[in-house]
Amino acid sequence: MLRRLYDWVMDLAAHRNATGVLAAVSFVESSFFPIPPDALLLPMALANRAKAWFYAAVATVASVLGGLFGYAIGFFLFDTLGAYIIDLYGLTEKFNRFAGSYNENGAAIVFFFGLTPFPYKVVTIASGVTQLNLAVFILASVVARGLRFFAVCALLYWFGPPVKAWIERYLPWVTVAFGILLVGGFLAIKYLL
C-alpha cells in the first residue's frame, strides 16, 4: 500500500498542475494547513530535477505570501479566527506567554521556525498578533523559507538519483521518519513555547 501511495505521489508530482498544487500547499501551510510543502516539493524535484530551482522558488514565494496571510490572521482576526487556530493546536496558554516577549527576538524566531519542520503557521500568526515589524517579518521569511526550500532542492538536484533509489529502498522508514518529524514539530511547538 505504501508503495502504491509513493507511486501515486510521484505521478502527481509529474502532473501538469503539480506546480499550482505546490504553490497552494505552500501558501496554506504557512497560515493554517498542517502538512508541509516538502511532501510535494521532494517528489516534484525528484521527478524533474531540471526544474528543482523553479519548484524551490515557487514554494518560497507562495510560502512567504501564505505567511503574510497568517500575519493578517493574527493582526486582523486573532480574536476570532486566529485564537481558534491556536486553540485547535492546544497552544492558547503557552501562546499568550510567548506573545508577550515575542517582538524582542521576532526576526530570529521567524528565521528559525522558517527553516525547521516546526509549524510555521504559529509564528506567522504570532507575528501579526504582536505586530512584529512587517519588513522584518518579510525579510526573515524570505531568507528562511528560501534557504529551506533551495537547500532541499539543491540536494535533490545534485544527488537526485541516489536519493531517489535510497528513498525507494527504505520507503517505510522514510515514511516513519517524516511522520515523526511532523508530529515532533507540533509537540515541540506545544512544549517549547
Q: What is the pLDDT of residue 62?
A: 97
Q: 2-34: string of b/e by CB count within 10 Å (b at 16+)?
A: eeeebeebbeebeeeebbeebbbbbbbbbbbbe
- Grouping H, G, I as helix, E, B as strand and the rest as coil, residue 177 is helix
> What sign has the CA pseudo-torsion 24, 26, 31, 32?
positive
Main-chain phi, psi angles of 136, to 5 degrees: -65, -45
Q: What is the pLDDT of residue 75?
A: 92
Q: What is the pLDDT of residue 147?
A: 92
Q: What is the pLDDT of residue 106?
A: 85
* C-beta of residue 29 within 8 angstroms of C-beta of residue 66: yes
d(CA 98, CA 103): 10
Alpha carbon 1 to its chain centroid, in Å, reads 26
Side-chain half-sphere exposure of 189, counting CA atoms within 13 A:
26
- What are the pLDDT tens digits along the chain (193 aa)? 555 655 555 666 667 788 998 998 899 989 887 777 887 888 888 888 889 999 999 999 999 999 999 999 989 988 877 778 778 878 788 777 777 778 788 888 898 888 876 778 888 988 998 889 999 999 999 999 999 999 888 888 887 777 666 666 665 666 566 666 656 665 665 565 5
Distances (CA, A) of 64 to 13, 50, 57, 121: 22, 23, 11, 11
Residue 165, H or E segment: helix 134-169
d(CA 188, CA 186): 5
* C-beta of residue 136 within 8 angstroms of C-beta of residue 107: yes
Q: What is the pLDDT of residue 56?
A: 96
- Residue 187 burial (CB count, 10 A): 12
